[in-house]
Amino acid sequence: MEPTSDSSTLDIYGSQSTLRPSGLGAELTYDLTLAMTIGFGVVFVFVMLLLWVAWRRQTPAGHWWVWSGGILLPVAAIVVLMTASTAILVASTRSDDEALVIDVTGYQFWWDVVYDPDGIALRDANELVLPAGRPVTLRLKSDDVIHSFWVPSISGKMDMIPGRINTLTVRPEEPGRYRGQCAEFCGLSHPRMAFEVVVLELDAFDEWLLTTQGEARDAAQPELLAGKQVFIDAGCSACHEIRGVAEGGRLGPDLTRVGARASLGAGMWRMNQGNLAGWIADVGDMKPGAQMPSYNHLSGPELRAVSAYLASLR
Ligand code: HEC
Ligand SMILES: [Cu+2]
C-alpha cells in the first residue's frame, strides 16, 4: 500500500504551505518574506550593476563606496530586518486571555489533543479542530523526544520539549482543511508524523465541541458488536481509550471517534475500513517504528469486525 500522497487522495489534505497563509502568524510571516525577497532582490540587482560598472571602468573605487556599501548599507539592512521580524514575532504569537486552551502532546509518532484541559477536557488525537477568528493558545508538550508543532498555513513552528510546556497562540482565519507536520526529526517514522487541522466557523466549532463530548457511538449491528468485543478481548484498551467502552488507555491515540478522522495513522492514510484492517494486522508495514504491536493472529472475520467497528466510531 502506498501512503496517500497520490492526487486521488489529495482532497483529504488541506493546504500545507507557507505561501498560502490563513492565520495571522502565517500571514505576517508571508508578508515579511515577500518584503525581504523584493527588497533584497533590488539590492542584489544594484550590487550586480555596480560590479558591472567597476569592471567596465577599471578604476579603483573610493573609500566612500567601501564605507557606504560595505558597512553602512548592511548595518541599516540588518537593523531594519531585525526590527521588523521581532515586531512580527511578537504580534503573531502574542497571548490572549480570551483564548481557548488546547493541550497538544507529541509522541513517537502521533499527537494527543485535549480541548479546554481545565474545563471539559475533551480528548482526541491526530486531528485539531479550531475556531475561525478566535485566538487559541496551544500548550505544546512532549512525552518522549523533541518534536516540533508546525501548521505552515496557520502559524510558525514551535518545539515540543519533554518536561516543558511551550505555548503558541494561533489565530486561524479561513475555515477549511490544513495540514500540519512534525518539524523536528524524532525517529524512524518522523516524516509520517503529520495531522489534520480543521478550521470551523465559530458557531460550527461550538456545536462540534458540544456534540463530540460524551461516549462513543453505540455498536448496534451484530458485526459492530462483535468488533467491539474483539477490541476488548485483544487488549487494545491497554493503550487506547474509547469513551464509554474502555477508559484510561493513554499509550496510543484516543479512538472514541477515530472513524470521523479524514486520515489514519497521523495524517498518512485515508481513513476507511480496509486501511484500518491493514493497520491492525500489520502496523509495522504501514508505519515502520510505530509503537503498536501487529495483530496478524486475528482471524479474517475478527479483523473485519474490529475494523468495521472502529470505522463506525464517528
Ligand atoms: C502497546 C500499545 C498498543 C496496543 C496494545 C494497541 N495499540 Fe493501536 N496504537 C498504538 C500507538 C502508539 C499508535 C500510534 C502509532 C503511530 O501513529 O505512530 C496506535 C495507533 C492505532 C490506530 C490509528 C489511530 C489514528 O488516529 O490514526 C488504530 C486504529 C489502532 N491503533 C487500533 C488498535 C487496535 C484495534 C488494537 C487492538 C487490536 C490496538 N490498536 C492495540 C498503541 C497500541
Ligand atoms: Cu515528531
Taking only the tens place, the pLDDT of each residue in 13-42 is 668 888 888 888 999 999 999 999 998 899
Helix then strand then coil, % of the chain, to nearest 5: 40, 20, 40
Q: If you measure from the C-alpha of residue 21 to the centroid of ligand 1, how many angstroms do you get, rounded to a whole number?
A: 33
pLDDT in tens, 124-172: 999 999 999 999 999 999 999 999 999 999 998 999 999 999 999 999 9
Contact (CB, 8 A) for 171 and 23? yes
pLDDT at residue 302 tops 80: yes
What's residue 109's pLDDT?
Answer: 93
pLDDT at residue 275 tops 80: yes
- From 193, 184, 179, select the one nearest 166 (Cα to Cα): 184
Share of the chain above pLDDT 70, in %: 94
What's residue 17's pLDDT?
Answer: 85
For residue 122, what are the β-bridge partners? 115
**Whole-angstrom distance, CA of residue 266 vs CA of residue 153:** 18
279 lines ligand 1 (CB under 6 A): yes
Q: If you measure from the C-alpha of residue 248 to the centroid of ligand 1, how many angstroms do you get, rounded to a whole number?
A: 14
pLDDT in tens, 46-102: 889 988 888 887 666 678 877 888 889 889 989 998 999 899 888 888 888 889 999
What mean pLDDT is predicted for residues 284-304?
A: 92
Q: How confident is the model at residue 105 (pLDDT cuts 50, 70, 90)?
A: very high
- Per CATH, 1-213 and 222-312 having the same topology is answered yes
The protein residue whose alpha carbon is closest to atom 36 in ligand 1 is 236
Share of the chain above pLDDT 90, in %: 68
Tell me the three cell numbers of residue 99: 483564548
CATH topology of domain 222-312: Immunoglobulin-like (2.60.40)
Select 1-213's CATH number: 2.60.40.420, 1.20.120.1750, 3.40.50.2300, 3.90.730.10: 2.60.40.420
**Whole-angstrom distance, CA of residue 289 vs CA of residue 276:** 17
Contact (CB, 8 A) for 148 and 185? no
104 lines ligand 1 (CB under 6 A): no
61 lines ligand 1 (CB under 6 A): no
What mean pLDDT is predicted for residues 242-249?
A: 91
pLDDT at residue 180 tops 90: yes
What's residue 13's pLDDT?
Answer: 61
- The span from the first CA to the last CA of the chain, in angstroms, equals 25
What's residue 7's pLDDT?
Answer: 39
258 lines ligand 1 (CB under 6 A): yes
- Please state the pTM of the whole predicted model: 0.88
The protein residue whose alpha carbon is closest to atom 5 in ligand 1 is 236
188 lines ligand 1 (CB under 6 A): no
Q: If you measure from the C-alpha of residue 86 to the centroid of ligand 2, how many angstroms do you get, rounded to a whole number?
A: 27
Q: If you measure from the C-alpha of residue 26 to the centroid of ligand 2, how many angstroms do you get, rounded to a whole number?
A: 21
pLDDT at residue 10 tops 50: no
What's residue 278's pLDDT?
Answer: 94
Contact (CB, 8 A) for 119 and 173? no
pLDDT at residue 286 tops 80: yes
What's residue 183's pLDDT?
Answer: 95
Burial of 117 (0-12, 13-18, 19+ CB in 10 A): middle
What's residue 42's pLDDT?
Answer: 92
- Helices 300-312 and 273-281 cross at an angle (nearest 10°) of 130
Indicate the average pLDDT of the chain: 89
Q: If you measure from the C-alpha of residue 213 to the centroid of ligand 2, how many angstroms do you get, rounded to a whole number?
A: 27
Q: How confident is the model at residue 9 (pLDDT cuts 50, 70, 90)?
A: very low
Domain ranges for the chain? 1-213, 222-312
Segment among 54-68, 80-94, 218-232, 250-264 with least mean pLDDT: 54-68
